[in-house]
Homo-oligomer: A and B are copies of this chain.
């Protein structure tokens, strides 16, 4: 008597994976696949491009934390793939009537073909993903991970250097509370010969669970940042924001100050690029924006191609990507 409701709706998964929750969901080969497909999509993601790959599919972005880049670039990615987009923000929703986030997610599942979710609680997005049959992309779960950020960071590095191996990467700042650096260290750790230097003030170490063999931490007085960078001679300086929203409210952040400015640029190698996931507050001085090595906004642009690839893959369209 009881009818079946859509139980076979999401038979198609990418290599048997339903969700992208963290970088350990992807093998080295799968990361290379994302980058290869992103590269194929890049010339098709400009002005006037509209693909039919996701036609008739609806992406729902559920953001329980603020966002500019992530929500907009996922929407632009889905629109360019030919799909539709709906954005759920907590304000104005039934959360205000007392609904749990779990019920909200289970409801949104009914109307979307994939969910992109951000939440301040580490591990929450994995919990939400376990409740629903549609693919879930983690767009940031508190101080844990932000895998699509790391994927487009890696795509940006690959575009600059033509490789993801044998690179020297300095990750600078308040690592303890910063999810993009967690995901990036994990992702780069899958490739040979990389050396990642975590440069942070004492107290803001990378959490152990995200570390790996290519990671070396240097806890320093951040006033000496330029000297340290000069010694390291990195290919990439990846600057992070001090995430005050995750820090204890009364924590004294005076000793955590660091800035990449023209003096820093002067000591960096000629081919070194400066990256930042944005938003920045004070940690990159705008005076360096005109330096061609400061590629933060080009990096942001790459989120478009990479999120197109991720959405297409997790919505079961790898065959169509192969034909590009």
A304→B10 CA distance, assembly (Å) = 18
How many whole Å from A40's CB to the nearest CB in chain B? Answer: 16
Among A67, A91, A271, A279, which residue has the most Cβ atoms of chain B within 10 A? A279
- Residues of B close to A75: CB separation below 8 A: 86, 111
A104→B293 CA distance, assembly (Å) = 20
Q: Is A193 an interface residue (CB 8 A)?
A: no
- Residues of B close to A6: CB separation below 8 A: 46, 301
A113→B79 CA distance, assembly (Å) = 13
**Binding stretch for chain B, among A19-27, A57-65, A199-207, A223-231:** A57-65
Among A66, A112, A303, which residue has the most Cβ atoms of chain B within 10 A? A66
- Residues of B close to A48: CB separation below 8 A: 55-57, 113
- Residues of B close to A104: CB separation below 8 A: 68, 279
- Residues of B close to A88: CB separation below 8 A: 68, 72
**Binding stretch for chain B, among A93-101, A183-191, A252-260:** A93-101
Q: Is A36 an interface residue (CB 8 A)?
A: no
A229→B280 CA distance, assembly (Å) = 55
Q: Is A249 an interface residue (CB 8 A)?
A: no
- Residues of B close to A67: CB separation below 8 A: 92-94
A280→B300 CA distance, assembly (Å) = 39
Q: Is A192 an interface residue (CB 8 A)?
A: no
Tell me whether A2 and B292 are in contact (CB under 8 A): yes
Interfacial residues of chain A within 1-47, with CB under 8 A of chain B in the complex? 1-3, 5-6, 9-10, 46-47
CB nearest to A241 among chain B residues: B97
Tell me whether A68 and B281 are in contact (CB under 8 A): no
Tell me whether B66 and A56 are in contact (CB under 8 A): no
Tell me whether A91 and B94 are in contact (CB under 8 A): no
CB nearest to A2 among chain B residues: B292
- With A80-B56, A103-B278, A281-B99 given, is the CB distance from A68 to B50 under 8 Å? no
Identify A107's interface contact among B63, B69, B109, B281, CB under 8 A.
Answer: B69
Q: Is A144 an interface residue (CB 8 A)?
A: no
Q: Is A239 an interface residue (CB 8 A)?
A: no
How many whole Å from A81's CB to the nearest CB in chain B? Answer: 11
A-B contact pairs, 24 of them (CB 8 A): A2-B160, A2-B292, A5-B298, A5-B301, A6-B301, A47-B113, A49-B56, A58-B76, A58-B79, A63-B92, A67-B92, A67-B93, A68-B94, A69-B94, A72-B86, A72-B107, A72-B108, A75-B111, A76-B112, A79-B84, A91-B91, A103-B278, A103-B279, A110-B300
**Would you list the 7 A-B pairs with minimal beta carbon distance, nearest first?**
A99-B279, A50-B56, A110-B301, A76-B111, A68-B94, A79-B84, A98-B281
